[in-house]
A = this chain, B = another copy of it.
Amino acid sequence: MITQSVLKKISHVVTKGMFGLEKENLRVDKDGKLALTPHPAIFGDKEENQYITTDFSESQVEMITPPLPSIEEVCSFIRTLHDVVSDEIGDELLWPQSLPPRLPSEDQIPIAKYKDASKELEEYRKSIAEVYGKYRQMICGIHFNISLDDEWFTALQKELDNSISIGDLKEEVYLKITRGLMRYRWLLIWMFSETPLAEPNFKVRSLQDDEERFLRCKASIALRSGPLGYRNRDNYIMDFYSIEGYNHIIEELVSEGKLHYAKELYLPIRMKFLDKDQGKPSYLEVRFLDLDPLSPSGVNEEALYATYMLFLYALLCEEEGEFNEKEQLDATLRQDLAACYGRCADTSFPEEIAKGAKITDEAGAVIQKMKHILSEHGVLQNPIYAATLDRMEQLAKDPAKRQGILLYQQCKEQGFIEYHPTLDKIEELAYDPACCKDTIVHEQYKAQGFIDFHLNLAKAYKREAELKGYRFWGYEKLEMSTQLLMRAALCKGVGIEILDPSENFLRLSKGENKQFVVQATKTAIDNYATVLAMENKVVTKKLLAEQHIMVPAGGEYFTKHNALKDFSRYQNRAIVVKPKSTNFGIGITILKENEELSNYNKALDIAFEHDNCVLIEDFIDGREFRIFVIDDEVVGILHRVPANVEGDGIHTVRELVEKKNQDPRRGKGYRTPLEKIALGKEEELFLELQDMSFETVVAKGEKLYLRENSNISTGGDSIDFTDDVDDSYKEIAVQAAQAVGARITGVDMMIQNIKDAASNTNYAIIEINFNPAIHIHCFPYQGKNRRLNFKVLTALGF
């Protein structure tokens, strides 16, 4: 027996679980009309993309998160999915409301297309279009999946002396939770629904008499969950006490022709079965949550936490009697009441199901019980969960604060009230509470208001998604390049696992292809020896020189003493002093011709701080370009301008740097497209060489450089030159990649004049990088997005 005392013993793992979201949005054009274009090709085969696919309609994008260990993560993930889709659908927009925009005639609504081998998916959609009408199928929503951790089941089994199998426990536990969620679902629907009003012309076929009817319902807050919403024709009574009985009923419904498909049973809570659990439930799917037009991701995070709290309450509570036919019918009645009269402040339940109590009082009572039980089991030790209960309590007391009410008000504020001449009969409810009768009859809709309001939100969200097109929400600590690669993976439906976030270590997979990727460009398609050849500047230079590719002459030093001895050799040449193994330009100093010995000495000190071997090389005149090569093709060329400030005759270098660093695109550690400019030793030395310091005031209009090296990682600016550089340099970059055997590489080349063809005297390759950043080519300071994240995925075989 799973008693309260048994449950309490294992409460330390009860909040471990997995969470997932599925969310639909209709694509619309810039005027808010349903987009009739095909599902965008960038998302690939809709059956093979685990993240982005279609639901009923070709115009109905479905976004699916993987199971994740927290609600926080699942919310971030769905936001990124939403942003990525928003970003990749061109001029189209994602409609942020569960209830549709103005639709074309029903026959013009495109059912999702499938390839020949999967025509049964199209057949299913045709069948439900037939039964429920296409318009109804255009109503979108959120499915929230929740599971308990196997560790909890194992602990439970142990507490029960291993007398019951894990499978049987799953059956017992998930059935109990389902009963509880079915019983109390009215509370969540009343509290969090966001479908108070539909587009005035939107009609659906009545499930009672098959007549076309405007989707309106008294003082509704949840049209989607109301009698005209997304549901089956009948209120089928289920067996919620055994999986066998439950399945039996479904089989009967199908065999009796009441359902054409088992999956056509639209229960508000569905048990889901994965192969691994062999016929026992694996997780629950909560299906009544609406899109939240007031959040950029379309998901109301509060609603998810509240749902999860009710899920845990349903698990942990002592049940109040059997969930029999009457209780099931009553629960549906409560849902319809909450849905249709939810906006009305003093809605009461009918005498026979809740002694006529006001819905707010009933809500408050349930929340008190939840608080009690969840607190007893330690759940509310988590401040987020405690806050969720407090918030629910507050909403029960002050229901005007509900998101659905706010949405309704804002939507109405959008413009004038337009009288609709054919205000028609509202759908009959089993119970019609007197309290609301007068208040709702004259409710009127403002057509343009509904469309404009949601369209403006869609446009604002799209702009924001574009601006933050580099961001993978929830993974802000990963490097920019890695976040971008993950975004591309979402698009192409390539599975993402983060094996070690601290090292940006991913495993990407699709079908048979599994690839480790570290820092976006350290991959399995480059071999280790090639990487070591690139890492070793001496070897790199030998290999390039063998192929008659120009490299700067110079020497290699293991002691400062030896390097000092050679000062005279370098004195009359412009040189670069750098640690043998470094990326990112760290420890590099450039000295002009006829430099003082003391500066040479200082440069050596800096370089030897970073490596026990230092290279001194000719400084090659010209501008430096990063030429990104993937599989013998140049995919991006970037010129990097060293960290710089522009003077105003008033502010010091230090002040100008601080100001420039306030640009939100500038961050630290590759988590934004550009890096903040540092005020360190090397910048100091570089200014010293120009007789300046951080406290110097820079003349108006003067562009002052703070470093000679132009890496973005040391505060440089990035400018795209992919289409501007003579092809001869591109060929040389490809040859250089081939010389070391690299498939993904960034060639750093000095070029005197990008319009002149390469000769033996006008360019030199100074480095070949085995871990080139991709974000700088995707979000340059100036220029086009070269979409290297997608190109890396292609190179990896995705």
Residues of A within 8 A of B (CB): 499-500, 502-503, 505, 515-518, 522-533, 536, 538-539, 542-543, 558, 613, 741, 770
Contact = CB atoms under 8 A, between A and B. Distances in A.
Given A499-B542, A516-B529, A528-B530, 12 more contacts: A499-B539, A503-B539, A505-B532, A516-B533, A517-B529, A522-B528, A522-B532, A523-B529, A524-B741, A526-B528, A528-B528, A528-B531
Contact of A523 (B502, B517, B528): B528
B770 A539 contact: no
A513 to B, nearest CB: 13
A56 to B, nearest CB: 37
A630 to B, nearest CB: 15
A641 to B, nearest CB: 31
Contacts of A518: 529, 532
A528 B532 CA distance: 9
15 contacts: A499-B538, A499-B542, A500-B538, A502-B613, A505-B539, A516-B529, A516-B532, A516-B533, A517-B529, A518-B529, A523-B528, A524-B741, A526-B527, A528-B528, A528-B530
A613 B505 CA distance: 15
B500 A536 contact: yes
B529 A522 contact: yes
Given A526-B527, A527-B526, A741-B524, A502 B558 contact: yes
Given A538-B499, A558-B502, A527 B529 contact: no
A543 B543 CA distance: 36
Contact of A516 (B503, B515, B526, B530): B530
Q: Lowest 3 CB-CB distances: which A-B pairs, in order?
A: A516-B529, A524-B527, A524-B529
Contacts of A533: 499, 505, 516
A281 B670 CA distance: 58
A526 B543 CA distance: 21
A515 B528 contact: no
A583 to B, nearest CB: 14
A523 B526 CA distance: 11
Contacts of A525: 527
Contacts of A539: 499-500, 503, 505
A536 B539 CA distance: 26
Nearest to A530: B524
A97 B505 CA distance: 62
The CB with the most chain B CB atoms within 10 A, among A500, A503, A517, A770, is that of A500
Which of A518, A529, A531 gathers most chain B CB within 10 Å? A529
Nearest to A505: B539
Contacts of A530: 516, 524, 528
A84 to B, nearest CB: 24
A451 to B, nearest CB: 49
A255 B499 CA distance: 76
Contacts of A741: 516, 524
A104 to B, nearest CB: 49
A494 to B, nearest CB: 15
Nearest to A796: B529
Contacts of A558: 502
Contacts of A499: 533, 536, 538-539, 542-543
Nearest to A503: B536
A159 B354 CA distance: 113
A651 to B, nearest CB: 36
Contacts of A613: 502
A515 B530 CA distance: 9
A524 B742 CA distance: 11
A299 to B, nearest CB: 30
Given A500-B538, A536-B503, A524 B528 contact: yes
A569 to B, nearest CB: 14
A767 B387 CA distance: 44
A502 B559 CA distance: 13
A517 B529 CA distance: 6
A257 B601 CA distance: 71
Contacts of A543: 499
Task: Specify which of A502, A517, A558 lies most central, judged by the most chain B CB atoms within 10 Å of its CB.
Answer: A502
Contacts of A516: 529-530, 532-533, 741
Contacts of A523: 527-529
Nearest to A613: B502
Nearest to A516: B529
A615 B677 CA distance: 34
Nearest to A521: B528
A526 to B, nearest CB: 5
A532 B770 CA distance: 13
Contacts of A542: 499
Among A516, A528, A543, max chain B CB count under 10 A is at A528
A515 B536 contact: no
Contacts of A505: 532-533, 536, 539
A746 to B, nearest CB: 15
A522 B741 CA distance: 15
Contacts of A770: 528
Contacts of A526: 527-528
Nearest to A531: B528
A518 B518 CA distance: 21
A530 B539 CA distance: 23
A613 B503 CA distance: 11
Nearest to A517: B529
A517 B536 CA distance: 13
A516 B539 CA distance: 10
A741 B523 CA distance: 12
Nearest to A499: B539
Contacts of A524: 527-530, 741
Nearest to A519: B532
A515 B515 CA distance: 24
A786 to B, nearest CB: 23
Contacts of A515: 529
Nearest to A518: B532
Nearest to A612: B502
Contacts of A528: 522-524, 526-528, 530-531, 770
